[in-house]
């Protein structure tokens, strides 16, 4: 099955898709993105991802793209690739222009996508949990906008791998736990869950939102509040949420064992519920 790209209306093999070197996404990080996955060939939470994409674009004063146009393009790319479990990466940049910090509001977007099979996380990561480090959050002040300015995220992830761990969790200068390099963070203490509120310091994760909905449905209380590294280290369970991550238990952070040092019952239950919901193929 082919890995395909979409480039401003045309679908082609990935290696044939090229963007001009003066794309503002390339020179200024002036580009927004989404990553959406399918289960059994059907998108999970497509509308919510499109809502977030449109919000990212409007926060940066990009001209809008009609929802129908976006959807038709995404669905066609997915259809042509035909993967049962596809990951569609969508990137929209402000456009192409001679390098200049200021920009012309009338630039034409560059709308590109790729589709590949989702690489499932290693079974061991899910069954045993992962190790993480914390890292000072040096990102810009609008992490709620899903831009391609991911250098801090990329360096943090690499630092974790170089330290023999699996991922990094961003922490503010005041010790507030924000989010993972490509995921949101939840902690569990007793039957109470906690996660960071939706502010400009984290991405409003779609998986985070679904987990909060599932918790409500099954009677688990989620306290949406700031919490610090001490609460993180002392939690019974810690897990990350994201489109690829789904729910991933973290069992060791900065060398501190979390809870019993293995995935806890709430993380396991929520993972099962999330998969059931994704596989049910209901509209968002
Ligand atoms: N990232 N926080 C950050 C910084 C992220 O990059 C992501 C997702 C999330 C989780 O969001 P969601 O549940 O909507 O996937 C939180 C995507 C998967 C990526 O960068 O590829």
- Domain encompassing residue 275: 123-279
- Minimum-distance ligand 1 atom for the alpha carbon of 206: 14
Would you say residue 17 has pLDDT above 70? yes
Per-residue pLDDT averaged across 238-252, rounded? 97
Q: 169 CB under 6 A from ligand 1? A: no
Q: Which atom number of ligand 1 is nearest to the Cα of residue 244?
A: 18
Ligand 1 binding pocket includes 242 (Cβ within 6 Å): yes
Look at residue 264 and tell me if it is in a domain. Answer: yes
Ligand 1 pocket, 243 CB below 6 A? yes
Residues taking part in catalysis: 146
Considering the domain boundaries, does residue 232 fall inside one?
yes
90/137 same-domain check: no
Atom in ligand 1 nearest the alpha carbon of residue 209: 13
Boundary of a domain, candidates 117, 148, 179: 117
Measured in Å, residue 243 CA sits from the centre of ligand 1 at 6
Answer yes or no: is pLDDT of 24 > 90: yes
The pLDDT of residue 201 is 98
123-177 pLDDT per residue, tens: 999 999 999 999 999 999 999 999 999 999 999 999 999 999 999 999 999 999 9
Ligand 1 close to Cβ of residue 183 (< 6 A) = yes
Question: How many domains in the chain?
Answer: 2
User: The domain that contains 266 carries what CATH number?
Assistant: 3.20.10.10
DSSP string across the chain: ---EEEETTEEEEGGG----TTBHHHHH--EEEEEEEEETTEESSHHHHHHHHHHHHHHTTPPP--HHHHHHHHHHHHHHH--SSEEEEEEEES-B-SS-SS--TTPPPEEEEEEEE--PPPHHHHHH-EEEEEEE--S-S-TTS-BS--HHHHHHHHHHHHTT-SEEEEE-TTSBEEEESSSEEEEEETTEEEE--SSTTS---HHHHHHHHHHHHTT-EEEE---BHHHHHH-SEEEEEETTTEEEEEEEETTEEPTTSS--HHHHHHHHHHHHHHHHT---
Single out the residue in 83, 117, 151 at which a domain terminates.
117
Task: Specify the pLDDT at position 281.
Answer: 85
Residues 109 and 127 in one domain: no
pLDDT of residue 1: 64
Same-domain pairing of 90 and 230: no
The percent of residues in the chain predicted with pLDDT above 90, rounded, is 97
User: Do 220 and 93 share a domain, yes or no?
Assistant: no
| Ligand 1 neighbour 245 (Cβ under 6 A) | no
Do 255 and 192 belong to one domain? yes
Q: Which of 117, 143, 175 is the last residue of a domain?
A: 117
284 inside domain: no
Residue 10: give its domain's CATH number.
3.30.470.10
The overall average pLDDT reported for the chain is: 97
Whether residue 189 sits in one domain with residue 80: no
Looking at the structure, tell me whether residues 80 and 202 fall in a common domain: no
205 lines ligand 1 (CB under 6 A): yes
Compute the distance from residue 242 Cα to the ligand 1 centre, in Å: 5
Do 154 and 247 sit in the same domain of this protein?
yes
If asked whether residues 67 and 206 sit together in one domain, one would say: no
Q: What is the pLDDT of residues 98-132, one digit of tens each?
A: 999 999 999 999 999 999 999 889 999 999 999 99
> What was the pLDDT predicted at 188?
98
Residues 106, 128: one domain?
no
204 and 71 together in one domain:
no
Q: Which of 242, 244, 247, 274 to mutate to test the pocket of ligand 1 (most atoms within 8 A of CB)?
A: 242
181 CA → ligand 1 middle, Å: 8
The answer to whether residues 86 and 69 belong to one domain is yes
């Amino acid at each position: 099955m082919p890995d395909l790209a979409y480039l401003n209306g045309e679908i082609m093999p990935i290696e044939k898709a090229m963007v001009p070197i003066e794309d503002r996404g390339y020179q200024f990080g002036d580009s927004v993105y989404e990553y959406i996955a399918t289960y059994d060939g059907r998108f999970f939470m497509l509308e919510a991802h499109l809502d977030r994409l449109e919000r990212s674009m409007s926060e940066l004063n990009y001209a809008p793209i009609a929802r129908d146009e976006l959807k038709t393009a995404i669905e066609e790319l997915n259809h042509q690739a035909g993967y049962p479990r596809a990951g569609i990466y969508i990137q929209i940049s402000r456009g192409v222009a001679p390098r200049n910090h200021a920009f012309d509001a009338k630039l034409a977007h560059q709308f590109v996508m790729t589709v590949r099979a989702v690489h499932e996380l290693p079974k061991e990561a899910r069954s045993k949990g992962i190790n993480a480090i914390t890292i000072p959050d040096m990102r810009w002040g609008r992490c709620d906008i899903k831009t391609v300015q991911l250098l801090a995220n990329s360096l943090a992830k690499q630092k974790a791998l170089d330290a023999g761990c699996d991922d990094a969790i961003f922490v503010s200068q005041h010790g507030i736990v924000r989010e993972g390099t490509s995921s949101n963070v939840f902690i569990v203490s007793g039957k109470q869950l906690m996660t960071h509120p939706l502010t400009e310091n984290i991405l409003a994760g779609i998986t985070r939102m679904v987990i909060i909905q599932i918790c409500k449905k099954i009677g688990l209380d989620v306290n949406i509040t700031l919490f610090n590294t001490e609460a993180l280290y002392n939690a019974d369970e810690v897990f990350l949420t994201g489109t690829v991550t789904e729910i991933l238990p973290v069992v060791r952070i900065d060398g501190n064992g979390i809870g019993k040092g293995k995935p806890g019952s709430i993380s396991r239950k929520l993972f099962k519920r999330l998969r059931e919901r994704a596989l049910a193929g209901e509209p968002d």
